[in-house]
Amino acid sequence: MTAPKAFLEAARSHLPLEVAQDFDAPTNAVDAPTHAASLAWHTTKKLGSLFDDAADLRARKRLATTAFNNMWKIWMRRGLISEGNRVRLYKCYVLPVVGRSRCAVRHMLQAEDPFNRPPKKRTCPKMSVRSLRRLREAASASGKSASKLKTELQLDASVHTVQRHLKLTPWLQYMKR
pLDDT at 129: 47
Q: Averaged in consecutive runs of 10 residues, what is the pLDDT profile of the chain (177 residues)?
A: 56 51 51 58 55 66 74 71 76 62 52 52 48 63 64 58 54 53
- Residue 12 CB coordination number (10 Å): 14
pLDDT at 147: 63
Structure-derived torsion over alpha carbons of residues 131, 132, 134, 138, reported in degrees to the nearest 10: 130
pLDDT at 32: 54
